[in-house]
Structure 1
Amino acid sequence: MKKWKKEILLNVPIEFAWAYFYGDISKKKKIFPKVVGEEIIKQTEGIIGTIISQSYQTGSLTEQYEITIKKYTNESNYKAIQESFLLNNRFKMTTEYELESQSDKMTKFIYTSINKPKNPLLSIFQLFGSDEVIVNFLNKAKIAIEMDFEQSQNNEVL
C-alpha cells in the first residue's frame, strides 16, 4: 500500500473551490481533463454509499470505473469527499479531497491518495513511486480553479 498526502493553498473561497470536486461535471473536467462523464448508479440519502459510473478517456480508449463515495462532509468551513474505486482491476484506489477555509478568499486543499494493489507483488513497484504526479495535479488544479475564479470576478465587474 502506498499513501500520499499533499496540500496547497488556493486563492479562492471554499464554496467556489468545492464545485470542482463535487456536483459540477463541467468544473470537474477542468481539473480532471480525462473525465468525460459521470452517471449516478445508486443514490443514497446521505451521499455516503452513492455509486457513480465515471467515464475516463485515455488516448482512444474509454474506461469506466464505479466510484463509491466513502466520506462526505459539506460544512461552511470544511468540505471533504472520499472516493474508492478499482483501477485497471489491479489497484484499489482511495482518493480524498479536503477543503478547509482559511479566510474569505483562501482555501487549503488537501489531497490524499491511497493505492492498494490486489496482487502483493505489485507492492514492490510502489516502493519506487514518487509524489511527482500528486504535486503536478495539485499545481494544475490550483491554476485552473484560480483562473476560473479570476475570470468570474472580472465578469462580475463588467
Structure 2
Amino acid sequence: MKKWKKEILINAPIEYVWQFFYGDLHKKKMIFPKVIDENIIKQTDQVVGTVITQTYQNGSLNEQYELTIKKYKNEQNYKSYQESFLLNDRFRMTIEYELENQNETSTKFIYTSINKPKNILLSIFQLFGNSDVVDRFMSRTKEKIETAYKNEEA
C-alpha cells in the first residue's frame, strides 16, 4: 500500500473551490482533464454509498471506472469528498479531497491518495513510486481554480 498526502493553499473561497470537486462536471474537467463524463448509477440520500460511472481518456482509449463515494461532508467551513475505485483491475484507489476554509478568500486543499495493489508483486513496484504525479496535480489544481476565480471576478 502506498499513501500520499499533500496540501496547498488556494486563493479562492471554499464554496467556489468545492464546485471543482463535486457537482459541476464542466469545472471538474478543468482540474481532471482526462475525465470525459460521469453518470450516477446508484444515488443515495446521504450521498455516501452513491455509485458513479466515470469515463476517462487514457491515451487513445476510453476507460470506465465505478466510483463509490465513501465519505461526504458539506459544511460551511469544511468540505470533504472521498471516492474509491478499482484502477485497471490492479489497484484499489481511495482518494480524498478535503477543503478547509481559511478566510473569505482562501481555502486549504488537502489531497490524500491510498493505492492498495491487488497482488504482492505490485506492492514491490510501489516502493519505487514518487509523488511527482501528485505534485503536478496539486499545482494544476491551484492554477486552474485561481485563474477561473480571477476571471469570474473581472
Tell me the TM-score normalized by structure 2: 0.99
Question: Quick one: which amino acid aligns to residue 139 of structure 2?
Answer: N
Distance 1:58 1:93 in 2: 17
Per-residue displacement from partner, 1:67-117 (whole Å, max 9, x unpaired)?
Answer: 000000000000000000000000000000000000000100000000000
Give the corresponding residue for 1:67: 67
Distance 1:55 1:72 in 2: 21
Give the corresponding residue for 1:15: 15
Structure 1 residue 140, shift from structure 2 partner? 0.2
Distance 1:55 1:15 in 2: 26
Tell me the TM-score normalized by structure 1: 0.97
Corresponding pairs, count: 154
Q: Which runs of 4+ in 1 moved over 2 A?
A: none
Tell me the C-alpha RMSD between the 2 structures: 0.4
Distance 1:62 1:82 in 2: 23
Distance 1:32 1:57 in 2: 10
* Identical-residue share of aligned pairs (%): 64
Give the corresponding residue for 1:145: 145
Give the corresponding residue for 1:47: 47
Gaps of 5+ in 2: none
Distance 1:139 1:64 in 2: 26
